Chain A
Amino acid sequence: DGGITQSPKYLFRKEGQNVTLSCEQNLNHDAMYWYRQDPGQGLRLIYYSQIVNDFQKGDIAEGYSVSREKKESFPLTVTSAQKNPTAFYLCASRHGGRNEQFFGPGTRLTVL
């Protein structure tokens, strides 16, 4: 069953802690993306990667880091430098040469 999985579904973090959100896809897509969604603000791009071992900052990369060691995996680390990390985080992927992005189910991060 092909698709994009994100884990965990819910994540709670204490202030000052780093946390890593998982994103895996078995669609053989080349590109992967991380977005943040806040109420009333739509989706904002954090980081994206078009090939393995390469990634670029999006519009709101400060306080986040990523890696792309495997084609199917694109984990996002929310660091303690991110001042307002409570949000819904969405991972997406795209087949090379196509415009459409397909999304995972999301991870809701809450900072306590």
Chain B
Amino acid sequence: QKEVEQDPGPLSVPEGAIVSLNCTYSNSAFQYFMWYRQYSRKGPELLMYTYSSGNKEDGRFTAQVDKSSKYISLFIRDSQPSDSATYLCARNSGGSNYKLTFGKGTLLTVNP
């Protein structure tokens, strides 16, 4: 079983919709989670990071962690065409090498 599972999509929504992107993980060691956004042919851009259960909000983006279910989510409110990208979830097990394990990414298209 892979450490981080992510539905690859693709996901297509109309402009203004609420988007839900999800990942599950298998290792229960100390967890630090990140969401990255990657536009086509560009490097990933860090969107949000969190290490605690519950919600963390930043503008239109909310990261949610449910450690009892080993489930992490990213919600995008009032989605815009400029949100069209691949979204990658990642976790760090907290070891001294700070290695990240990535999901495969979900391709999102927001249609005007």
Binding site for B on A (CB under 8 A): 4, 6, 31, 40-43, 45, 48, 50, 56, 58, 88, 90, 94, 99-106, 108
Contact in complex: B92, A50 (CB < 8 Å): no
Q: How far is the CA of A42 from the CA of B97 in the complex (A)?
A: 20
Chain B residues proximal to chain A, CB less than 8 Å:
6, 8, 32, 34, 36, 41-46, 49, 51, 88, 92, 97-100, 102-105
Kindly identify which residue among A43, A50, A99, A108 contacts B102, using a CB–CB cutoff of 8 Å: A43
The A contact surface, by secondary structure, is strand
User: CA A56 – CA B98 in complex, angstroms?
Assistant: 12
The residue in A4, A101, A103, A108 that gathers the most chain B C-beta atoms within 10 A of its C-beta is A101
Quick one: closest A residue to B94, CB to CB?
A99
Measured between C-beta atoms, what is the minimum distance from B81 to chain A in Å? 22
In the complex the two chains form, is A105's CB within 8 Å of B92's CB?
no
